[in-house]
A and B are shown apart, each in its own frame.
Chain A
Amino acid sequence: MKPEFSTDTDLLDALRSKAPERINAALKHLFQHEKLRNSIRKQVSGMGGDATEVKEMLNQALIVFYHQVLDQTYQPELSSIQTYIVRIAAQMYYTKRRSENRRVAMYQRSAESVASDTQLDPERAFDMAHRKALLDEVLGSIGEKCKKLLKLRSFDYSMAEIAEKLQYKSPDVAKMAAQDCRKKLNQYLAERPDLLATLKSL
């Protein structure tokens, strides 16, 4: 049986498809890719990272890569997907370690040379925990169901799919629920200039 994603082109097509099932399949393929995982493990362990940090860097690198594909900032002609993701992971881990004031001099040059390849600002700490905390604060006021709905909506799930997953009576009911959730969020953020400022700076 032919594998679903045998080339980088197949993967990119799936990630850009706006079809949640295909996007998920492509990301799962990358997530479970043994060579990719091993390469990241090698890079992160080489810089003193443990198993938890390896896992964290893999997750974050995949997320960053996915967003760069959506933003069309990833240039496939310059690097293969695997190499690119590994570089992202290495760069992110370096940034994390640098922010913890460890081994600055040793990795300064390598970090700068990598930055241009990955479109990742080395000066900016990529702190998933901070971003997670920010999201929790942003969505704190809108309720769990709205959180789930907006999450699915952000991933381009159709209203029919959202209705099925969240057990709305129909796609129209789900659409109305989505609008209500967005209004709530909009109102909440309008009342929180500090959060607005933080979100703007991302």
Chain B
Amino acid sequence: MNQQYDLEDMEDYLGGRMSDSDRAAFDTALASDPELQKRLEALQVEAKVDRLLREDLLLEQFDIWEKESADKTNQKRRRLLLVSAVIILLGLLSLLLFRTTQVQTPVKELPPIKVDSTPEQSKTPEEIALKPGPTTQSPDKTWAELAKKAFIEEDFSQRLMGAGNQGKPTDPLTQALKWYTAGKYETALSLLQKPDPGRMEEFLYLRAYTYYHLQRFEKAEQDFSEFRKFPVSDRKMDAQWGEVCCMLQQMPAVAPRLDLLLKEMESSPDNPYADRARALRKALRR
């Protein structure tokens, strides 16, 4: 009688775990049962089926790992793209901000200079009001405007105190004064280049104004400064103010010197230009 052998029996047979009697019985059944033979063969190739199964499982696993690597790479790329985009955006924003700041920063202008009180001694009876310049002007033009408004023309009809006797009509100083009054400053200057040593003050004073009209402010300033060194003169303060006007015309290069001079003037109560100096200094500081 044929026994129905299951997988475990066949495994025991193939593994040599059957007893001798059981093995003999199995052999007998095997010899007469083609189906059992085929089943045993099928069991014998199960190891090969297992190998195919393993391969298939591994291939599935490789696909998963490949996808994981690709996802990681894509994630890295996306992160890199994001960081790059943020950096570029920040760069653009900084550039925009910088440009906006440049456009919005206005050119510094000098505010209007107001004279609060009439000086005790004024060169002219009228008070000079300094009006604010146009706001759209460049600083150079504004300083020049200020200087123009600050400048007080000298009345050369009044002779300098302490000056010598009036010269002859033909002497250079008299001639120069005539040309100066006529507005012929170059001609006047040519006559003032060789001062009379006995009348140096007058020469220097007139020449300073002449240089000023010729817009040779540095020279004018020098002459005003040299004039002030003379011990006695009633025009020293005027010459000092002349220096201020010359410096205004040379701004901003002489700003520290101008400030110093104005400070000196405003701190001297006897100086008729103290108030003007104070107002100008305040305006320049703004």
Interface size class of B (residues with CB under 8 A): 20 to 34
Cα A63 to Cα B66 with chains together (Å): 15
A155 contacts which chain B residues (CB < 8 A)?
53-54, 57
Cα A155 to Cα B42 with chains together (Å): 20
B207 to chain A, nearest CB (A): 90
Question: B118 within 8 Å of A by Cβ?
Answer: no
- Out of B46, B55, B65, which one reaches A63, CB within 8 Å? B55
- Out of B43, B46, B56, B61, which one reaches A132, CB within 8 Å? B56
Cα A190 to Cα B37 with chains together (Å): 8
- State whether A151 touches B56 (Cβ < 8 A): yes
- State whether A150 touches B48 (Cβ < 8 A): no
- Out of B39, B58, B66, which one reaches A66, CB within 8 Å? B58
- Looking at chain B's contact residues, the main secondary structure is helix
B104 to chain A, nearest CB (A): 54
Give the interface segment out of A24-32, A77-85, A95-103, A106-114. A24-32
- Out of A59, A67, A151, A190, which one reaches B38, CB within 8 Å? A190
- State whether B45 touches A199 (Cβ < 8 A): yes
- State whether B42 touches A32 (Cβ < 8 A): no
Question: B59 within 8 Å of A by Cβ?
Answer: yes
Cα A66 to Cα B58 with chains together (Å): 10
Question: B94 within 8 Å of A by Cβ?
Answer: no
Cα A152 to Cα B50 with chains together (Å): 10
Give the interface segment out of A1-9, A42-50, A169-177, A180-188. A180-188
Q: A154 and B54 in contact (CB under 8 A), knowing A31-B65, A55-B66, A185-B42?
A: yes
Query: What are 22 A-B pairs with beta-carbon distances under 8 A?
Result: A27-B61, A28-B65, A55-B66, A62-B62, A67-B54, A135-B55, A138-B49, A138-B52, A150-B49, A151-B54, A151-B57, A152-B57, A179-B7, A183-B7, A185-B49, A186-B39, A188-B42, A189-B42, A190-B39, A196-B38, A202-B48, A202-B52
Q: Which A residues have a C-beta under 8 Å from some C-beta of B?
A: 24, 27-28, 31-32, 55, 59, 62-63, 66-67, 128, 131-132, 134-135, 138-139, 150-155, 179, 182-183, 185-191, 193, 196, 199-200, 202
